[in-house]
Amino acid sequence: MRIDIITVLPEILESPLNHSIIKRAKEKGLVEIHIHNLRNFSENKHRRVDDYSFSKGAGMVMAIQPIEKAIEVLKSEREYDEIIFTTPDGTAFNQREANMLSLKENIIILCGHYKGIDQRIRDYYITKEISIGDYVLTGGELAAVVITDSTVRLIPGVLSDETSALTDSFQDCLLSPPVYTRPIEYKGMKIPDILLSGNDKLIDDWKYNQAVERTKKLRPDLYKKFIGEE
């Protein structure tokens, strides 16, 4: 898989995309991640990538020229399955979307900034607009990291235990059950006896029931989807 990220602040992306699971995925050759500084595509002598909005009001708008050039240069080198724009008014990102993206071969992520991008880019180039939550960030770089991390870890071979991703929260509209490790007892606090039973069927049933109850209590919105009310 190849992910190309277009940004005005590449420094923000360098550290989180070069450590932990993503680093191991890159070392295994399972993913390539390339960060492109949008200013390198600007034809402005000062490398500007923004301009005033025709609709007036506060805030600048990311200009069409450097974005168009960046996308066209990348598209001239390979075909892309998705060109994603990170924006507060995009579709809410979730585990299902991460699963779908993990099956793609090449994607571009354009990081939003300022008051957004020239609408013509959204109309002619963007295939998917994604928001990671109902709040506004300074820029789309952190959203790009979230999308990249949640997608890459689902690629077969990235995790040492490939079944781990399949049991993550949200995979079945359920939160994960509680987990425990040694010691069995700590300062009077014990782990549930069922986990020491050695009976895999009983343990699986316990984990499932715990997941259902936690979801019902903590995320009633997810629980409604789980039982088919939404």
- State the CATH number of the domain containing residue 219: 1.10.1270.20
110, 117 in Cβ contact below 8 A? yes
Position 205 scores a pLDDT of 96
- pTM for this structure? 0.87
Position 213 scores a pLDDT of 96
Position 169 scores a pLDDT of 56
Position 168 scores a pLDDT of 60
Position 57 scores a pLDDT of 67
Same domain, 123 and 76: yes
- Residue 186, domain extent: 169-226
Three-state DSSP state, 166: helix
Contacts of 28 (CB under 8 A, 6+ apart): 157, 158
Regions in the chain scoring below 70 on pLDDT? 57-58, 161-171
Position 164 scores a pLDDT of 60
Output the CA torsion 36→41→46→48 (10° steps): -80
| Phi–psi pair at 88, nearest 5 degrees | -60, -25
| Phi–psi pair at 208, nearest 5 degrees | -65, -45
Same domain, 113 and 199: no
Position 26 scores a pLDDT of 97
Give the number of domains in the chain: 2
Same domain, 31 and 95: yes
Position 47 scores a pLDDT of 94
Position 40 scores a pLDDT of 97
Exposure on the CB side of residue 25, measured as CA atoms within 13 A? 27
